[in-house]
Amino acid sequence: MLGNWFKTSLLMAAVVALFGIVGATVGGAEGMLVALAFGGAMNFFAYWFSDKMVLRMYGAREVDAASAPEYYGVVHELAGRAGLPMPKVYLIDEAQPNAFATGRNPQHAAVAATTGILQLLNARELRGVMAHELAHVKHRDILTSTIAATMAGAISSIAHFGFLFGGRGGDRPNPVVAIIVMILAPMAAMLIQFAISRAREFGADRGGAEISGDPQALASALQKMERYAKGVPMAAAEQHPETAQMMIINPLTAGGIAGLFSTHPATADRIARLLAIAR
């Protein structure tokens, strides 16, 4: 728990520092002050509202025991087994089979799954997937991953400081340096995500296996989702690749820059570890 709080605090501090450096590069002292203020405001917004923003990006709608009885019932049963408060449950109208958890703590958590995953998986496999997501909630990974997604998108907007402050006053920044910094800012956001993403999935797989008591079900689900997800693009994920690291399976099909947001360990390695736990 303390490790994740430290990572989150370090991430938020790094974002403010990056905003300040880029602001100073493209706008001098004035640009740095405005960028620092913007970075601080982004931290406040990300802590309190980033989960709602991510859910809105995916057009997620909240469901209950009446509107999605099997799905809601699985989450309710597993939350009880894990000793967690009941999270809010969301459904995303997307054909790609995928799921994620979000929120700032277990008391304000949400889990979301696509309609594609409900159609693809059997009840046992769905149970394995939702146990994985609840393990993220229990490990308090969700705040770090949600803030990372929000910040990565926001850092790209630092480039606008070049237009707002470039060329003002007598301390006009070197345009070549400004361009380099504006290119590196989004790359820095990706590096922040790489630093926090990969090991978490292995931990959530193990935690999910413990919560469900059925590691083979999660292994089977991962195998199915990996096969289907590659051929079924998810529009919202392609538009917001910074959120890809929140998903149980990499949702991105695009190459190039979007491909750099692929932060998941190899599915085959995850399945091998789950089967080892089962044995």
| Residues with Cβ within 8 Å of residue 66, at least 6 apart in sequence | none
CA distances (Å), origin 193, targets 114, 123, 144, 267: 23, 32, 9, 19
Q: Which two tokens stand for residue 153?
A: 């998108």
Complete DSSP assignment for 13-28: HHHHHHHHHHHHHHHH
- C-alpha to C-alpha distance for 113 and 61, rounded to whole angstroms: 10
| Residues with Cβ within 8 Å of residue 208, at least 6 apart in sequence | 128, 129, 131, 132, 133, 134, 135, 218
Task: From the candidates 94, 133, 201, 226, give the one annotated as an active-site residue.
Answer: 133
| C-alpha atoms less than 13 angstroms from C-alpha of 225 in its C-beta half-sphere | 33
Q: Which two tokens stand for residue 184?
A: 């590196």
The total of other beta-carbon atoms located within 10 Å of residue 213's CB is 11
133 included as an active-site residue: yes
Catalytic residues, which ones? 133
